Structure 1
Amino acid sequence: MVEMKKRLLVILISILMLIILIGCGNKKENEVKEKAEQGKIKVKALKGPPAVSMVKLFADNEAGKTSNKYETSIINSVDEVVAIVAKKDYDIITIPSNLASVMYNKTNGDVKIASILALGINYIVGNNDTVKSIQDLKGKTIYTFGKGATPEIVLNYVLKGNGLEPGKDVKIEFKSEATEVAAVLASEKDAIAMLPEPFLSSAQVKNPKLKVLISMGDEWDKVKGTLPKSQISGVVIVRKEFAEKNPEAVKNFLKEYQESIQFLSANPNEAAKLTGKYGIVPEPVAKRAIPRANITFIAGNEMKEKMTEYLKILYKANPKSVGGKLPKDDFYIIN
């Protein structure tokens, strides 16, 4: 009887130990899973060229080929990007270049710029090729959108740099959005407009007669005293706390992001397919837009030099366009 009780006790202790071990194992597994989820870097890209620049990164992340693990999402509007940055609901995000400065000022320096992602994306377009230079715009009307924003500043800067006074030598008629500009081009055979990518390519798909007449990025570079390649349409920013606590992760991201951008020029057709797959723009539009979107990777001191130049020009035209004051040196991540 005593022997039987001992055996039962041993069995009960063994079962209890097994339950404890299983419980600890499950707890450890859950902790690992939780840690893995917490370790994912929140990367968000604005729809358009900024998101296009990341398509290979998105694909590699899904295939488990990236050094970092990313939680990726595509944001539909600039207003959403601003709200996300204000709430700090991101680790890395793409943003229009001037808004990076605006948000740096609004968040008391919580925003740090890691790289330039695209240069000039605006083009003068029309249904005929009567306009071959900026001087040919004298006496004409340009339809565009973005009054009070960077498109207007870019257009005015190039016109003035060529001795033309906006509103006097060249009439500028602003529409509320790109589709309205495209509608004018479709209905008026002699209409001239300024459109950015990918809106330009979308308009060309619907209106094959539409021609690219002038690259505003090229004309920007020609303005006397202007630093070449300093018209910057988009940048990548990193949340300050994340950048300071995870320098190696930021470094890995920039390497993988640069490879993603290089993929665009090396494999444009495959890049266009990925762009369609992720719902950024349809594949036929992407095939036209990618070569003209001026997507590039510029980091470090060169990034700082070009961004500083661009923001100074914007500030001179309208201080509000950069948030009222120029960012300090801590705005830039220099590796």
Structure 2
Amino acid sequence: MIDRRRRQLLQFAAATASLAVLPGIGLATGPGLRAATPLGLPQVILVRALQDERLDALVGGSELRDWRDPDQLRAWIAGSEVQLTATPTNVAANLYNRGVPVVLMNVNVWGTLGVLAREAPLSGLADLAGRQVGVPWRGDMPDLVLRYLLAREGLEVGRDLRITYQASPFETVQLFLAQRLDAAVLPEPMRTATRRQAGSLGIEPLELDLQQEWARLTGDAPALPQAGVICRRELLEAHPEWIAAVQAAVGEAVAWVNANPGAAARLGAEHAPLPAPVFEGAIARTRLEMRTAQEARPALEAFFSALAELSSGFIGGGLPDDAFYLDKA
């Protein structure tokens, strides 16, 4: 029997193959911009960007959908249901390497990952020795970042510590709060939400920022190019002025979120099932910086190359070529 993941891959392959015959039918026709975003800080940024009156007048209005997992996004973008989306950078590269005609416009989220632990010490990754650590999404970004850094620290999974995998951050959080895990790796805003919920249960978790651990163990900046915005190439070719306007609006949105965390948190709470204080805490713990695709390319290629050592499937093969990166704003 074909398992669920293999079935999803076959469905995605079939959708991708269809694009080779009928690329982007109906995608760039008609008014309005069809966009999508995951929950979290990328959603706050894109919601704010699409509120720009100049952009709205130019594109004739916009629709913004929420996607819950990368499989849903792949179906939407491969099937031309959306033209533009916020997405983790590895998902963008994976789509491109599998033949979906997408273009990376920018990277604007540079680090959301952290470790929560129920007991001290937690001054560095070495302190995870002997513990059971929960990680969502086996083989995805949280898992590969953790395993890459553990190897740099000289720790071996299975010998020095145990990792158990969950299908989503929500499951990881449940197990951590039930004290069935010693530690948990989580992205924002789940990190902040979990810390707040743990406090209400009398648990005071310690926290370790994985961006700082990356800097300590690699010598690079404490910044991981985690998420940005991509568009379908057909949209870029049909409406380059739309893409330029979106790019400008995203840059202004990132600056606004950094300058107005309270207002940004309230905006996030209007569009997601998390309260404003969770978003405000997440903003404080996340590096938000707008870089165009070309500006972000060196950091992206170093990041992709490091994690692809553990799993080439992380980006769907080799490094994306020049056509993946938006040439100009």
Structure 1 length normalisation: TM-score?
0.81
Rounded to whole Å, the distance in 2 between the matches of 1:66 and 1:197 is 33
Q: Which runs of 4+ in 1 moved over 3 A?
A: 58-61, 63-70, 209-212
Counterpart in 2 of 1:265?
258
Counterpart in 2 of 1:60?
52
Measured against aligned partners, the alpha-carbon deviations of 1:214-249 in whole angstroms (never above 9, x if no partner) come to 11112112223x643552221211111211232222
Matches within 5 A, 1:1-335: 38-61=30-53, 68-78=59-69, 79-108=71-100, 110-188=101-179, 191-208=182-199, 209-224=203-218, 227-229=220-222, 231-279=224-272, 281-335=274-328
How much has 1:167 moved relative to structure 2? 2.1
Counterpart in 1 of 2:18?
none
The structure-2 alpha-carbon separation of the partners of 1:277 and 1:115, relative to structure 1 and needing over 3 Å to count, comes to: same
**Larger-gyration structure (1/2):** 1
Counterpart in 1 of 2:26?
none
The structure-2 alpha-carbon separation of the partners of 1:139 and 1:240, relative to structure 1 and needing over 3 Å to count, comes to: same
For the 8 Å contact 1:101–1:327, the answer to whether it is kept is: yes
Rounded to whole Å, the distance in 1 between the matches of 2:141 and 2:251 is 26
Opposite residue 77 of structure 1, the aligned amino acid is R
How much has 1:297 moved relative to structure 2? 1.2
The structure-2 alpha-carbon separation of the partners of 1:295 and 1:180, relative to structure 1 and needing over 3 Å to count, comes to: same
For the 8 Å contact 1:227–1:309, the answer to whether it is kept is: no
How much has 1:146 moved relative to structure 2? 1.5
Measured against aligned partners, the alpha-carbon deviations of 1:185-207 in whole angstroms (never above 9, x if no partner) come to 32329822211111122212321
For the 8 Å contact 2:84–2:229, the answer to whether it is kept is: yes
For the 8 Å contact 2:198–2:205, the answer to whether it is kept is: no
Counterpart in 2 of 1:7?
none
In structure 1, stretches of 5+ residues that fail to align are 1-36
User: What is the CA RMSD across the aligned residues, in angstroms?
Assistant: 2.3
How much has 1:259 moved relative to structure 2? 0.6
Rounded to whole Å, the distance in 2 between the matches of 1:229 and 1:133 is 14
The structure-2 alpha-carbon separation of the partners of 1:331 and 1:175, relative to structure 1 and needing over 3 Å to count, comes to: same
Of all paired residues, the percent bearing the same amino acid is: 23
Rounded to whole Å, the distance in 2 between the matches of 1:187 and 1:244 is 51
Q: Which moved further from structure 2: 312-321 or 111-120? A: 312-321
**Secondary structure of 1:38's partner?**
coil
Rounded to whole Å, the distance in 2 between the matches of 1:45 and 1:333 is 19
For the 8 Å contact 1:111–1:238, the answer to whether it is kept is: yes
Rounded to whole Å, the distance in 2 between the matches of 1:272 and 1:284 is 7
Rounded to whole Å, the distance in 2 between the matches of 1:172 and 1:248 is 47
Opposite residue 123 of structure 1, the aligned amino acid is G
Rounded to whole Å, the distance in 2 between the matches of 1:212 and 1:52 is 27
Rounded to whole Å, the distance in 1 between the matches of 2:57 and 2:116 is 40
Q: Which moved further from structure 2: 263-272 or 194-203? A: 194-203
Measured against aligned partners, the alpha-carbon deviations of 1:89-140 in whole angstroms (never above 9, x if no partner) come to 22221112111111102225x1110001212211111234421112222222
For the 8 Å contact 2:52–2:249, the answer to whether it is kept is: no
How much has 1:69 moved relative to structure 2? 4.1
How much has 1:68 moved relative to structure 2? 4.4
Structure 2 length normalisation: TM-score?
0.82
Rounded to whole Å, the distance in 2 between the matches of 1:229 and 1:246 is 36
Opposite residue 276 of structure 1, the aligned amino acid is A
In structure 2, stretches of 5+ residues that fail to align are 1-28
